[in-house]
């Protein structure tokens, strides 16, 4: 039942001790504020890392050649490994692997790319049509490379939206235009956009067969890329990706006579392994943020408990009079608890509103590496406030129990 007289007493006590109540509430509100802000930035780190991994398919594995570091089978260290088309076809067609997408790259060197009389300082890469899926690209205009382009060794090219903006700013649709690569005309067939942004759009893609034949690549390859199908959960995807990496690495080291324990010769970047390490790191950071925030809240709750002890001390004689007039112990406890819960709840909600408001305003505007749109689920934030109220009730209970336990005669003698 709503007891208006009790609420009047609470407000009278607060009014008489404005500064003390304000400082107590400030410590509690700052605890919730700090916790929500820290959790928001923890989520922002996860968002930022997820954005970084959008540059390529989440389950992709990129392989490139390096120099061997160890002697093996009579061969000296320092050998530069060279992939061949046969490496790719064997992995794709003859090995029993669970692949979703696959591609290969040949990067012609010592070439000059021009449009009309202007030089285009972008990387030309020969590849296959499945690169679109491995690179998380989508088309803005025209089409991507296809199997027919590869089989017919056509001289076509796909440019990025960044290249269109910088080199074709006076043309609304560059599809059908020609660029020259080492003075050989290539027809633009499409404009792509990469989800990772401009840093991934400094590349012009042409068919792998064309790049090898026209630019004296023979059957050489610079990169191999594979991706495994998505799984039901993250751990299964990681294990599948690690298994794929092990099988491909074992085959390539065997066929190119690289020592099994040689860290050179072949470089492999496994996106799932990278993701696992980053997510584990952000998970630990979020746990640390929770710890710091909860410690701050506990400090505020302890402050509430101390203030309630002071309140009990100040009102000892009043409590004695109430007991002498027949007040029950639980009514004394309720009187102290109400004030503790009220101060804690109001302060907690103030801290919550300010922190959520701050994240809502500045979160979308934060542009920092690996931090994107810091935010907190409102239900999680609200749960922390209710937890705080419960803690405030517990903090107020002990001073309230002490007040109820004071003997009436001792209370009336208190000065």
DSSP string of 199-262, one letter each residue: GG--EEEEEHHHHHHHTT-TTEESEEEEEPPP-SSHHHHHHHHHHHHHHHHHHHHHHTT--TT-
Residue with the two structure tokens 């309230």: 400
Count how many domains the chain has.
3
Task: Please report the pLDDT score of residue 22 as a whole number.
Answer: 81
Q: Which of 49-53, 204-208, 232-236, 407-411: highest mean pLDDT?
A: 204-208
**Domain identity same for 188 and 82:** no
Of 293 and 108, the one with more pLDDT: 108
Dist. CA 320–CA 338, nearest whole Å: 19
Residue 272 forms part of a structural domain: no
Which of 42, 48, 46, 43 shows the shortest CA–CA distance to 368? 48
CA torsion through residues 321, 327, 328, 331, sign: negative
CA torsion through residues 348, 350, 356, 358, sign: negative
Residue 183 forms part of a structural domain: yes
**Domain identity same for 111 and 97:** no
Give the residues across from 142 on adjacent strands.
190
Report helix, strand and coil shares of the chain as percent, to nearest 5.
55, 20, 25
Percentage with pLDDT > 70 across the chain:
84
Per-residue pLDDT tens over the stretch 24-72: 778 778 888 888 888 888 777 777 766 665 555 567 889 999 999 999 9
**Domain identity same for 172 and 81:** no
CA torsion through residues 13, 19, 23, 25, sign: positive
Residue 235 forms part of a structural domain: yes
| Mean of pLDDT over the chain | 82
Per-residue pLDDT tens over the stretch 298-351: 777 777 777 766 766 666 666 666 666 666 766 766 777 777 778 788 888 888
How far from 145 is each of 1, 86, 157, 401, 405, CA to CA, in Å? 74, 22, 8, 78, 84
Residue 221 forms part of a structural domain: no
Local structure of 339: helix, strand or coil: helix
Per-residue pLDDT tens over the stretch 146-187: 999 999 999 999 999 999 999 998 889 999 999 999 999 999
CA 129 to chain centre: 29
Instruction: Give residue 249's domain range.
Output: 67-102+231-264
Task: Please report the pLDDT score of residue 1 as a whole number.
Answer: 45
Residue 260 forms part of a structural domain: yes
**Domain identity same for 244 and 345:** no
**Domain identity same for 124 and 88:** no
Residue 75 forms part of a structural domain: yes
């Amino acid at each position: 039942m709503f007891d208006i007289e009790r609420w009047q007493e609470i407000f009278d006590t607060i009014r008489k001790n404005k500064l003390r109540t304000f400082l107590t509430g400030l410590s509690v509100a700052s605890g919730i504020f700090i916790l929500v802000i820290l959790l928001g930035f923890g989520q922002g780190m996860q968002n930022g890392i997820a954005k970084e991994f959008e540059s390529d398919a989440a389950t992709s594995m990129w392989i490139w050649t390096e120099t061997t570091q160890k002697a093996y089978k009579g061969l000296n260290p320092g050998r530069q490994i060279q992939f061949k088309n046969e490496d790719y076809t064997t992995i794709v067609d003859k090995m029993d692997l669970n692949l979703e997408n696959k591609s290969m790259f040949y990067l012609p060197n010592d070439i000059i790319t021009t449009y009309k009389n202007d030089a285009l300082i972008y990387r030309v890469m020969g590849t296959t049509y499945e690169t679109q899926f491995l690179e998380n690209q989508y088309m803005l205009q025209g089409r991507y490379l296809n199997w027919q382009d590869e089989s017919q060794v056509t001289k076509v090219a796909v440019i990025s939206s960044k290249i269109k903006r910088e080199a074709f700013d006076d043309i609304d649709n560059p599809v059908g235009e020609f660029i020259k690569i080492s003075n050989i005309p290539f027809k633009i067939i499409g404009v792509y956009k990469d989800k990772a942004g401009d840093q991934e759009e400094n590349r012009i893609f042409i068919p792998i067969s064309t790049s090898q034949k026209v630019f004296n690549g023979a059957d050489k390859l610079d990169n191999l890329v594979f991706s495994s199908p998505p799984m039901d959960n993250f751990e299964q995807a990681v294990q599948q990706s690690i298994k794929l990496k092990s099988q491909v690495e074992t085959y390539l080291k065997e066929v190119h006579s690289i020592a099994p324990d040689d860290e050179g010769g072949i470089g492999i970047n496994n996106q799932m392994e990278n993701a696992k390490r980053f997510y584990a790191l952000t998970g630990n950071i979020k746990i640390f943020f929770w710890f710091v925030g909860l410690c701050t809240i506990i400090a505020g709750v302890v402050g509430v408990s101390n203030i309630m002890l002071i309140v009990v001390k100040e009102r000892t004689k009043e409590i004695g009079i109430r007991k002498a007039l027949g007040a029950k112990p639980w009514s004394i406890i309720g009187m102290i608890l109400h004030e503790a819960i009220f101060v804690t709840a109001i302060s907690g909600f103030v801290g919550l509103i300010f922190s959520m408001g701050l994240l809502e305003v500045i979160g979308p505007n934060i542009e920092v590496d690996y931090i994107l749109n810091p935010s907190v689920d409102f239900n999680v934030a609200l749960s922390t406030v209710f937890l705080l109220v419960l803690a405030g009730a517990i903090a107020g209970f002990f001073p309230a129990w002490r007040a109820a336990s004071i003997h009436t005669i001792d209370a009336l003698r208190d000065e």
